[in-house]
Structure 1
Amino acid sequence: MFRLVKKVAVFTLMLALVGISPFSEWSANKTLAESQSTFENVAHRGASGYAPENTIASFDKAVTMKATSFELDVQRTKDGRLVIMHDTTVDRTTNGKGSVKNLTLKQIRELDAGSWFDKSFAGEKVPTLEETLNRYRNKPIRILIELKKPELYPGIEKEVAQMVTKTGLTRDPNKVVVQSFNAPSVKKYNQLQPIVKTGVLVSLTEYASGVSDNKLTEWKAFADYINPNYKLVNSSLVKRIHNLKMKTLPYTLPDKKSATKIRSTGVDGIISNYPEFGK
């Protein structure tokens, strides 16, 4: 036994002298396996259960809570600036009124986007896409950009692609995912910037009867993710998505019980207002 141990020690020393670690392959494989098995924990509109949605406060909270990603919604102002807002009007989440596309950036930046959630967030501003991408490009978190109602904003795919390039996020193809309920818009984005991963969002209303294999195959041509309403998700759908070499992140998980149940179907992650649900 002593001779065997001695031989292993000598062999290990010889490998080390020539710069080879006998454990390097194991370590690399272990790291790869860990990265492949990482469950994606996406903070919906930031950690919007704890801070006003689609604001810097919400995105910062997602980082603090160690979400793997946060999701945001992008639209375009009257003067052609890309801002973060879910609804097509500012009425619900600010103290203003009107459609995003009919307001200038200056008008939108003057609004209070925090008080509606809690007075402690009074004065929170509607962020631009540019400032958001710049703020988090070197943070340990991925950004899911949803093209919100792109049919209202012709050419927004190109503008978002240009902003992703301008802020340096194309250097890491895993840093950004661009998604939308509008599949043709996702296809257009993929053609413009194929290095960036894309996803198709699947609504419960439109696909209440389920998602066909033909539709999944159609989306496979330009999407890396299929992200359905969580009520559409079962093991069969997940398997069909995985068979086409795509991933799936269902939205928006309302509680821990639902999140735990959906995990058992084999999904690659979840999108939720509460980042702790994905841990």
Structure 2
Amino acid sequence: MWEVILIAKIGAKMMYHVFLKMPSKSVTFMVLMKVAFSLLTVPLIALLLGSLFSFTGRKMIFDWSFLSLAESFPGLVIVLTVAFLWLLGFSFEQSGLVKFSAAALKEREERVRSVLARILRILPRLLGLASFKAGIFLLCILPALRILPVLQRAFSRGLPVGMYPSVVTGPFGWMAAIMSLMIMIRLLVSWIFAIHYAVLDRKTFAGALRASTSLVNGNRKKVLLSMLAFWAPSLLLIIGNSFVFRITRDVVIRSSYDPTSMNILKLSIFASAETMTTTAVSIGISIFYSILTTRLFFALKEGEALHSQTLLRKDAVADRPVVIRRPWLLPLLIILVIQGVFFGYLGRFLVVSEIELPLVTAHRGSSFKAPENSLSAVRIAIEDGADIIEIDVQMTRDGVLVLNHDRSLSKVASVGERVHTLTYADIAEFDIGSRFSNEFAGERVPTLAEVIQYMTGIPPSVKLNIELKDYGYSPEISRATIELVKEMGFESRVVITSTSIERLTTVRELAPDIPIGLVVGYLTSLVWSVDVDFYSVSTTILNDRFIQRARSMGRDVHVWTVNNTDTMSRYSSMGVASIITDRPDVLSKLLLRQAEMSIFQLRVLSILMT
């Protein structure tokens, strides 16, 4: 422990000197790299994603649903490409910073032009490093990423992590995630000096990886302690920066009720400050990281410690401000700010349109608090303030409509048989509550009739969203559902959704007055030609353009499944008719707060949360 504290103290002292006398050429180089890469890679990524999204109908968002991208070949190409471009940019930046750091440590002078020329000469090595690392790290991180939504779900409802295990989230999934994380951490540490060998010793990318691994193997403890001493305060700085701007954003939005010139100016200044501060933090951390690793590289390779006072040359010029030594650096910074602020924020602040807050749809009931598609989940969802209860309905072998999402009951009751192969008498014996929590032990699979009967005793303002989930095995499910709804006099309180156009067409013919919605998980030309009243759209494809087109056709948009509060805020400000969530209590409280906000504040919230 004392070694970590000692290294941390040395690191803090070095950090102090670095930020007081940050090498002007390093800052110039970093700004140039960020501007160049934003100009070159952003259009490239947009072009690639646009072409792939037009085929897959997917859209990257800040939610756990982005993990589904890697489950298809086009999505895997997207993830690999973005990872490759990010690692390539990181390799470019670190290559230049390593050159500057090595020169500073040896008290030599490096020019930006010569460093750029050097990077271009070793471009094949950097491409090799970036592509190889992108592939390896992606394979390592995917099993761990599949576990994260389960952790978030479990911690949010305060229940044990092992609820509803599957192949991915069961014992095999946890072992795979732990093993993949251990392998990735091992590789990250082993390859920490790969760029140094590629840049300073002119090794090929394979030779650089081997040399770095060899160097680290004999000094693993020292490398780990140095990285711990660096990343602990760095992560605290990043988290602190994000937290401060998150709190400030709420204060700024709350104090800007109307779209006055002063409020627009204030919000623009806030967006500029956030962009500039975040960029400055990232540049500072990158420079310090390169200096620390380069110093460690020479110390381990040459067997001698380089003193921290040689990190920066102490001459008269170094005491002058960076902008004075590089007068053209200021215009570059202004360009960087304009890129991140003017086109992303300022122009959109002036867009004011009527925004209605969405309805709260409980996904399979309140499925964070009770077993999904159970009577308990329906009851708790109503207590949580849901406007609509969404349930999944299937038909048993003997024609009874029951609630269940998957083809089989393995998720909720450890029963592998498919619903359409079982009779209702068989299904009625299964316990779907014990696997969720002992509190719900003995909970049974409800029938649609039981759910409707329960809802007849609650206020008629709460409606039922019946999703027909027969997976093509029960052609009569549409007719059976409509007959039951009519028999129980519940037509005015239901909407019916499905991924099957055939099932929805049958519902339209049998009950033209019942609203129907197409569940959209990917885009095709058929989406817009179907006769429906609304769309129930995955977060992976929903954007402003989809909402605008749907509205132009007189159709509402519901979005699924949104459990993150930031994402809830963003979609509620986009004008969707309903947000489908596993956490109706959280969404209800959020919408109550937003009900006090003006249209302008909602629009600003949507922009800043994008």
Q: Give the shorter-chain TM-score range.
A: 0.7 to 0.9
Q: Which residue of 2 aligns with 1:82?
A: 401
TM-score normalised over the length of structure 1: 0.79
SS at match of 1:226: strand
Written as runs of structure 1 = structure 2, the 5 A alignment for 1:36-185 is: 37=356, 39-140=358-459, 141-170=462-491, 172=492, 175-185=493-503
Q: Which residue of 1 aligns with 2:562?
A: 253
Is the Cα–Cα contact under 8 Å of residues 537 and 560 in structure 2 kept in the other structure?
yes
**Unaligned stretches of 5+ residues in structure 1:** 1-35
Letter paired with 2:470: K
Q: Deviations over 1:147-206 (max 9, x none)?
A: 003521011110000011011112x2xx11000011221111111111111000001xx3
Change beyond 3 A, Cα 1:270–1:117 = same
Residue 144 of structure 1 and its aligned partner are, at CA, apart by 0.2
Change beyond 3 A, Cα 1:192–1:150 = farther
> Which of the residues 175, 184, 189 maps onto 2:507?
189
Residue 257 of structure 1 and its aligned partner are, at CA, apart by 1.1
Q: Which residue of 2 aligns with 1:243?
A: 552
**Unaligned stretches of 5+ residues in structure 2:** 1-354, 592-610
Q: Distance in 1 between matches of 2:518 and 2:456?
A: 23
Q: Distance in 1 between matches of 2:536 and 2:402?
A: 23
Q: Which residue of 2 aligns with 1:226?
A: 535
Letter paired with 1:51: A
**Higher strand fraction (1 or 2):** 1
Residue 261 of structure 1 and its aligned partner are, at CA, apart by 1.3
More RCO (CA 8 Å, sep 6+): 1
SS at match of 1:233: coil
Q: CA RMSD in A?
A: 1.6
SS at match of 2:566: helix
Q: Which residue of 2 aligns with 1:5?
A: none
Is the Cα–Cα contact under 8 Å of residues 357 and 572 in structure 2 kept in the other structure?
no
> Which of the residues 575, 587, 610 maps onto 1:277?
587
Q: Distance in 2 between matches of 1:137 and 1:257?
A: 34
Letter paired with 1:69: I
- Is residue 262 of structure 1 aligned with residue 571 of structure 2? yes
Letter paired with 2:494: V
Is the Cα–Cα contact under 8 Å of residues 495 and 517 in structure 2 kept in the other structure?
yes
Q: Distance in 2 between matches of 1:169 and 1:184?
A: 23
SS at match of 1:57: helix
Q: Aligned pair count?
A: 232
SS at match of 2:556: coil
Is the Cα–Cα contact under 8 Å of residues 44 and 273 in structure 1 kept in the other structure?
yes
Is the Cα–Cα contact under 8 Å of residues 363 and 580 in structure 2 kept in the other structure?
yes
Is the Cα–Cα contact under 8 Å of residues 395 and 470 in structure 2 kept in the other structure?
no
Is the Cα–Cα contact under 8 Å of residues 74 and 83 in structure 1 kept in the other structure?
yes
Give me the identity figure in percent.
29
Q: Distance in 2 between matches of 1:198 and 1:93?
A: 28
Is the Cα–Cα contact under 8 Å of residues 72 and 145 in structure 1 kept in the other structure?
yes
TM-score normalised over the length of structure 2: 0.37
**Higher helix fraction (1 or 2):** 2
Residue 264 of structure 1 and its aligned partner are, at CA, apart by 2.2
Q: Distance in 2 between matches of 1:138 and 1:168?
A: 13
SS at match of 1:146: strand
Letter paired with 1:88: R
Is the Cα–Cα contact under 8 Å of residues 149 and 182 in structure 1 kept in the other structure?
no
Residue 234 of structure 1 and its aligned partner are, at CA, apart by 1.1
Q: Which residue of 2 aligns with 1:215?
A: 527
Q: Which residue of 2 aligns with 1:6?
A: none
Is the Cα–Cα contact under 8 Å of residues 389 and 465 in structure 2 kept in the other structure?
yes
Q: Distance in 2 between matches of 1:99 and 1:106?
A: 14
SS at match of 1:187: helix
Is the Cα–Cα contact under 8 Å of residues 52 and 113 in structure 1 kept in the other structure?
yes
SS at match of 1:61: helix
Q: Which residue of 2 aligns with 1:22?
A: none
Residue 41 of structure 1 and its aligned partner are, at CA, apart by 0.4
Q: Deviations over 1:57-112 (max 9, x none)?
A: 00000110110011001111111111001011011101433111111111111110
Q: Distance in 2 between matches of 1:167 and 1:66?
A: 24
Is the Cα–Cα contact under 8 Å of residues 255 and 277 in structure 1 kept in the other structure?
no
Is the Cα–Cα contact under 8 Å of residues 95 and 112 in structure 1 kept in the other structure?
no
Is the Cα–Cα contact under 8 Å of residues 94 and 111 in structure 1 kept in the other structure?
yes
Q: Distance in 1 between matches of 2:382 and 2:573?
A: 26
Q: Deviations over 1:19-45 (max 9, x none)?
A: xxxxxxxxxxxxxxxxx9462100000
Q: Distance in 1 between matches of 2:527 and 2:533?
A: 14
SS at match of 1:190: helix
Residue 231 of structure 1 and its aligned partner are, at CA, apart by 2.0
SS at match of 1:78: coil
Q: Distance in 2 between matches of 1:37 and 1:68?
A: 15
SS at match of 1:242: helix
Written as runs of structure 1 = structure 2, the 5 A alignment for 1:198-209 is: 198-203=516-521, 206-207=522-523
Q: Distance in 2 between matches of 1:229 and 1:250?
A: 6
Q: Distance in 2 between matches of 1:235 and 1:50?
A: 32
